Amino acid sequence: MKEILVGRNAMIKTPFAETNLSLMATIIPFASFVQGTVGSAKKTIINTPIGSDLLASAANSLRLTKVIGGVSSTNANDVFRFFKAAPSGRIEFDFSIEKQRIFTVDWTAYPDSTQSFHLGVFGDATA
């Protein structure tokens, strides 16, 4: 029996340990970061733009680099790059007094028409 490939997709889960209001606005689609005019007041507003197109509005290149012992690899073969990816807005938060606060963001990779409809490349893109 044969299988016919009709498409391909990718879901990427990225853990984040660093949290700040500016980063939250970046990884939550259509969220807004606001810097106050008085003192150090800041906020991130989480919007609910129902019916918005993530591919058209929020998809950008997503580059992931292998990290060992807190140090990013400088080897081009250790890079994963997705040409068009957008965070889903669904974020898992894990709060614990004993542990560092880590949260996971789900990304969807989309075929990129400017890259022959490829999703991305693993390794050195110049090879």
pLDDT digits (tens, 9 = 90+) for 78-123: 999 999 998 876 776 666 677 777 778 888 999 998 999 899 999 9
d(CA 26, CA 12): 16
Is pLDDT above 80 for 57? no
pTM over 0.85: no
Would you list the domain boundaries of the chain? 10-18+53-122
Signed CA dihedral, 18, 21, 23, 28: sign only: positive
Q: What count of other Cβ atoms lies within 10 Å of the Cβ of residue 42?
A: 13
What are the E-state strand segments in 1-127? Answer: 10-16, 32-35, 42-45, 60-65, 67-68, 71-72, 79-94, 102-110, 120-122
Structure tokens at 51: 């019916």
Helix (H) or strand (E) holding 6: none
Is pLDDT above 80 for 69? yes
